[in-house]
């Protein structure tokens, strides 16, 4: 790092080259008054307070880079009088109701005023300013009091530079200048994403959280929503969660949070939490004691040992919770019938990438994306489903990276993309193989990488014969020229990162889609390097971890196959019991099994399949066919209402443990408040012990992790002590002295041969395509403001304001033809069911395609979706089914 030495007020200061005078001074502990500077943002030069004297010239400290030998004076008579007058003018335009302002004592304006010694008498000589701005209370989480705004522009730059939303800017001129949305509408009517990043940076009381409660204490923990795994300080008053504040030290989110992570934690203390076990008596769920409930469960489960039992663990629960659940299933109940919602999201990633690379996880790190020069984002609406990763993409693009979006819908990222390949849903293999074919035809492949690091290339090359550009254009609907342009961009702008999510996986050929992603990345050598990779973005906070923990029917913790004698022996030895060798049933098969009476009892933790799983009628029928259902959850969910016993679970705020995020980073979850139920791991252990099982005497989650580390090689070096640092640990971390692995496959792949494997593929259309009766193709996804079945987010009044009900997104032409107008109630039906929703007419939906989320219990989208399964990963085709749309 090149350094520069300068003097500030006669003191020698050594600093990094490229730093501003202001940064150098502040780092040295020399305060120069400033209001518009923020360390996260570029310089702005608006407040004019940081003017300093540099070799006799007056320059802005925030804008002027340091130079060798520079002589800076921060105080001269001239500077003092300009600063004082500037500050007087600013204060003259600011209300003086400090004692009832929630920013009192944390306000930068107060700080600078005090520093400059501005007095009441100083202000008395000025004509009072007359600024009138009503408070904008439209956002459910924070208020904008523009009368207090000092126009430092920090919020505007945050919205632009950090969030990339561009919802606000300076509006009007002169003394009428204000911060405004487009057309100066209330914030709620703008494209504000309610991330609150502006709120945390506002130096005065212009942006304040609604009903602001300062926490009396804070605990650093991991966000319970998506798979990004943002770190924040959860703030409490007594036993109530009142705030969350991003942890700037985290390499995952650098302090940034989305609307859910910042404002979506009111579910923790929600009045509808279950705090007492419920047991079904005379057809009704009634409150009971823990003792009775646990004894009842243990007694009943004892009758279903073997393959009549199935456990559904939870991607929302900690690694430790999941570990004991699968251990209960395998070691106590004697079955591999364990699965969870990963089946519905990334089972094809686990299966496909294991085949290609030997490891079914994101190859690179989130922080790595800033080094990416070209993104191919296919089947991921990143800014909605993984908002903070979306920020990394926006930032990289801002810094010059290329972005290719492949999606049937015109998602938010298209605003900043270089190319938008609007493919027909379910045509990913054709699209990706078509790109590969062009790359090969034009000689843009990475021959060295192919020769040295991969195998099976010739078969793969042969398979591409079917994917000439004309054919691919016909299948995907993407014009040939765009295909060629995109192929060249992806192949030549390096490093290129391929990002995908459920638009790739939730198909009847999801595993093929994943393999096609792997093929394309290997073809261009975009693996094992910073900024490159194949990056499945995982949906749930701990879906990576619940898979790692063996919450899958075919593998023990650490992806050790249950049908491997060696692995089985290892676990039998460790657990002291004989273990079943037959892989168990998948989630989808478990409900089939229930219907045909093969499965009789289910222990279901933290899932709500009645809403979350495709073809919900079928799922419901399966659940009703069970003889015994235990549900462990925070709330009486739609699924829990059908249970025989409901056990109160605990949220992330009430227990210790770990989550493993999408980039394989194991991070701590810390108990912040008194549990309202019992920690899930403890409940499971108590059931096991009540059944007389051994090996469940864990004292705490750290003890469970110690057992995990002894059995799962990837977690071999993971201990709670090591997780105290700001970054957690990225697996594989095989030993105590291993630093973790930010990038996979740098030297060799995890396959038996150590080489990446090209897999020849053919194009298979989706199983259920529109026809005369059901003329629309329904595709599903997520909203920025809700999560999964809304169990948590729909407990937040604010999030419900931002996204109150289910919308069916339909293109203007289709809507016009059906006579449906925006906001009208409509009925959507498929071969399997019908639901009501509100029409949202938007050009984001291409002709013939409609879109819904699955967050709303009152509009059960999954009653419509298709049950067709991927033959390998057994994931249902949630992204494509045929529906019809009618007025309600």
Partner 1 sequence: MTGPGKLALHVCQGTGCVSSKSPEIQAALEREIAARGISGRAGVKLTGCHGFCQRGPIVIVEPEGIFYSEVKPEDAPEIVRSHIVEGKPVERLFYKDPASGNAVPFYRDITFYAKQQRVVLRNCGHINPEIIDDYIAAGGYRAERKALLEMEPEQVIAEVKRSGLRGRGGAGFPTGQKWEFCRQAPGRQKYLICNADEGDPGAFMDRSVLEADPHSVIEGMVIASYAIGATEGYVYVRAEYPLAVQRVGIALRQATERGFVGKNILGSGHGLELHVKEGAGAFVCGEETALMMSIEGRRGMPRPRPPFPAQSGLWGKPTIINNVKSLATVPVIIDRGADWFASTGTEKSKGTVVFALTGLMANCGLVEVPLGMTLRETIFTIGGGLLGGRKFKAVQTGGPSGGCIPASLLDLPVDYDSLNAAGTIMGSGGMVVMDDRTCMVDIARYFINFTAQESCGKCVPCRQGTRQMLDILVDLTQGRGRPGDIELLQEIGESVKAGSLCGLGQTAPNPVLSTIRYFRDEYEAHINEKRCPALACRPLLSYRIDPEKCAACGLCKRACPSEAIAGQKKKPHVIDPAKCIKCGSCFDACPKKFGAVVVSSGETGAQGVA
Task: Kindly list the residues in this chain that would bind partner 1 in the complex (CB under 8 A).
Answer: 43-49, 51, 58, 60, 63-64, 78, 81-82, 85-86, 89-90, 92-93, 125-127, 129, 150-151, 153, 169-170, 172-177
CB closer to partner 1 out of 36 and 709: 36
Q: Please say which residue, 24 or 252, places its beta carbon nearer to partner 1.
A: 24
Q: Give φ, ψ of 763 to 5 degrees.
A: -85, 125
> Which of residues 129 and 569 has its CB atom nearest to partner 1 in the complex?
129
In the complex, least distance from residue 98 CB atom to partner 1, rounded to whole angstroms: 19
CB of 88 to partner 1, least distance (A): 9
Q: Residue 707 has what DSSP assignment?
A: H
Among 186, 179, 196, smallest CA distance to 142 is for 196
Cβ proximity to partner 1, 16 vs 177, nearer residue: 177
How far is Cα 24 from Cα 35, in angstroms, rounded to an integer? 16
CB of 528 to partner 1, least distance (A): 33
Question: Backbone phi, then psi, for 699, in 5-degree steps?
Answer: -80, -35
Residue 246: strand, helix, or coil = strand
Q: How far is the CB of 414 from partner 1 (least distance, A)?
A: 17
CB of 171 to partner 1, least distance (A): 8
In the complex with partner 1, which residue's Cβ is closer, 175 or 753?
A: 175
For tokens 């501003």, name the residue. Answer: 20
CB nearer partner 1, residue 123 or residue 466: 123
Min separation Cβ 180 and partner 1, Å: 10
Which structure tokens are listed for 604? 């279901």
Compare residues 92 and 506 and give the one whose CB is closer to partner 1. Answer: 92
Give Cα 340 to chain centroid, integer Å: 18
Q: How far is the CB of 58 from partner 1 (least distance, A)?
A: 7
Minimum distance from residue 62 beta carbon to partner 1 (Å): 9
Residue whose CB is less far from partner 1, 79 or 835: 79
Distance of closest approach, residue 174 Cβ to partner 1, in angstroms: 5
Task: State the nearest-atom distance from the C-beta of 247 to partner 1, in Å.
Answer: 32
Cβ of residue 245: shortest distance to partner 1, in angstroms? 29
Nearest to 168 by CA among 147, 190, 151, 146: 190
Q: Is cis: bond before 123, omega within 30 of 0?
A: no
Cβ partners under 8 Å of residue 105, min gap 6: none
- β-pair partners for 285: 280
**Judged by CB, which is closer to partner 1: 63, or 720?**
63
| Cβ-based nearer residue to partner 1, 90 or 534 | 90
Tell how far CA 180 is from the center of its chain.
29
CA distance 566 to 732: 21
Task: Report d(CA 806, CA 819) in Å as an integer.
Answer: 20
Long-range (24+ apart) CB contacts under 8 A made by 820-828 are 820/885, 820/887, 824/887, 824/888, 825/887, 825/888, 826/885, 826/886, 826/887, 826/888, 827/885, 827/886, 827/887, 827/888, 828/778, 828/852, 828/864, 828/883, 828/884, 828/885
Assign 863 to helix, strand or coil: helix
Q: What gap in Å lies between CA 252 and CA 668, rounded to an integer?
A: 13
Count how many Cα atoms sit within 13 Å of the Cα of residue 323 in the half-sphere of its side chain. Answer: 32
564 in Cβ contact with 331 (< 8 Å): no
Q: Which is nearer to partner 1, 157 or 665 (CB)?
A: 157
């Amino acid at each position: 790092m090149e350094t520069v030495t300068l003097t500030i007020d006669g003191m020698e200061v050594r600093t990094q080259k490229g730093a501003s005078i202001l940064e150098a001074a502040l780092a040295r502990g020399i305060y120069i008054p400033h209001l518009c500077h923020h360390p996260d943002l570029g310089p702005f030069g608006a407040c004019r307070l940081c003017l300093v004297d540099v070799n006799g010239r007056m320059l802005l400290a925030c804008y002027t880079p340091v130079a060798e030998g520079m002589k800076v004076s921060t105080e001269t008579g001239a500077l003092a009088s300009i600063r004082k007058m500037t500050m007087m003018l600013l204060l003259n335009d600011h209300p003086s109701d400090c004692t009832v302002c929630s920013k009192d004592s944390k306000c930068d304006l107060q700080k600078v005023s005090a520093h400059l010694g501005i007095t009441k008498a100083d202000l008395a000589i000025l004509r009072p300013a007359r600024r009138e701005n009503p408070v904008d209370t439209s956002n459910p989480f924070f208020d904008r009091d523009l009368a207090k705004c000092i126009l430092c522009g920090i919020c505007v730059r945050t919205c632009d530079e950090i969030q990339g939303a561009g919802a606000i800017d300076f509006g009007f001129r002169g003394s009428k200048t204000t911060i405004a949305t487009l057309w100066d509408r209330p914030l709620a009517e703008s494209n504000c994403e309610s991330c609150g990043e502006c709120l945390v940076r506002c130096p005065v009381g212009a942006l304040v959280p609604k009903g602001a409660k300062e926490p009396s204490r804070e605990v650093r923990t991991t966000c319970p929503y998506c798979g990004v795994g943002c770190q924040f300080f959860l703030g409490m008053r007594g036993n109530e969660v009142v705030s969350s504040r991003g942890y700037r030290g985290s390499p995952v989110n650098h302090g940034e949070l989305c609307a859910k992570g910042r404002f979506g934690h009111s579910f923790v203390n929600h009045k509808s939490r279950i705090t007492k076990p419920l047991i079904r008596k005379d057809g009704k769920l009634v409150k009971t004691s823990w003792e009775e409930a646990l004894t009842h469960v243990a007694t009943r489960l004892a009758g279903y040992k073997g393959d009549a039992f199935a456990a559904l663990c939870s991607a929302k629960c900690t690694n430790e919770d999941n570990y004991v659940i699968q251990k209960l299933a395998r070691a106590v109940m004697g079955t591999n019938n364990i699965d969870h919602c990963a089946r519905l999201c990334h089972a094809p990633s686990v299966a496909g990438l294991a085949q290609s690379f030997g490891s079914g996880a994101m190859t690179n790190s989130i922080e790595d994306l800033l080094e990416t020069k070209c993104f191919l984002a296919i089947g991921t609406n990143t800014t909605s489903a993984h908002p903070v990763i979306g920020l990394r993409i926006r930032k990289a693009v801002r810094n010059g990276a290329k972005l290719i979006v492949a999606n049937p819908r015109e998602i938010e990222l298209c605003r900043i993309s270089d190319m938008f390949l609007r493919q027909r849903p379910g045509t990913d293999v054709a699209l990706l193989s078509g790109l590969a074919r062009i790359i090969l035809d034009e000689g843009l492949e990475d021959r060295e990488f192919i020769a040295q690091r991969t195998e099976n290339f010739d078969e793969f090359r042969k398979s591409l014969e079917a994917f000439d550009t004309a054919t691919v254009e016909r299948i995907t609907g993407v014009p040939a020229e765009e295909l060629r342009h995109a192929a060249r961009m992806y192949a030549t702008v390096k490093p290129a990162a391929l990002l995908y999510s459920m638009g790739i996986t939730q198909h009847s050929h999801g595993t093929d889609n994943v393999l096609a992603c792997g093929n394309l990345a290997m073809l261009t050598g975009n693996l094992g390097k910073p900024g490159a990779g194949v990056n499945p973005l995982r949906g749930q906070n701990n879906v990576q971890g619940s898979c790692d923990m063996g919450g899958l029917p075919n593998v023990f913790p650490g992806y050790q196959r249950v049908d491997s004698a060696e692995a089985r022996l290892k676990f039998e030895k460790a657990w002291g019991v004989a273990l079943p060798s037959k892989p168990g049933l998948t989630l989808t098969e478990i409900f089939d099994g229930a219907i045909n009476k093969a499965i009789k009892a289910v222990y279901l933790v933290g899932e709500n399949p009645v809403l979350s799983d495709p073809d919900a009628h079928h799922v419901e029928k399966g659940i009703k066919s069970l003889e015994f259902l235990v549900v462990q959850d925070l709330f009486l969910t739609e699924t829990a209402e059908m249970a025989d016993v409901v056990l109160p679970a605990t949220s992330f705020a009430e227990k210790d443990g770990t989550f493993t995020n999408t980039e394989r980073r194991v991070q701590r979850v810390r108990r912040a408040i008194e549990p309202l139920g019992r920690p899930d791991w403890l409940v499971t252990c108590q059931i096991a012990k009540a059944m007389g099982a051994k090996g469940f005497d864990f004292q705490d989650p750290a003890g469970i992790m110690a057992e995990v580390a002894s059995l799962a090689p990837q977690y071999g070096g993971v201990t709670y002590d090591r997780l105290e640092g700001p970054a957690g640990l990225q697996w594989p971390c095989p030993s105590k002295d291993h630093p973790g692995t930010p990038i996979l496959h740098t030297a060799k792949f995890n396959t038996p041969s150590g080489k990446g494997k090209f897999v020849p593929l053919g194009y298979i259309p989706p199983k259920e395509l529109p026809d005369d009766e059901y003329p629309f193709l329904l595709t599903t996804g997520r909203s920025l403001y809700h999560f999964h079945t809304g169990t948590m987010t729909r407990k937040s009044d604010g999030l419900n304001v931002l996204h109150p009900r289910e919308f069916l997104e339909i293109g203007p032409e289709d809507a016009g033809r059906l006579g449906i107008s925006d906001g009208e109630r409509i009925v959507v039906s498929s071969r399997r069911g019908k639901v009501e929703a509100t029409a949202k007419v938007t050009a984001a939906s291409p002709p013939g395609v409609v879109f819904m989320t699955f967050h709303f219990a009152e509009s059960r989208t999954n009653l419509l979706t298709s049950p067709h399964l991927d033959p390998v990963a057994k994931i249902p085709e949630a992204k494509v089914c045929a529906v019809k749309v009618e007025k309600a």
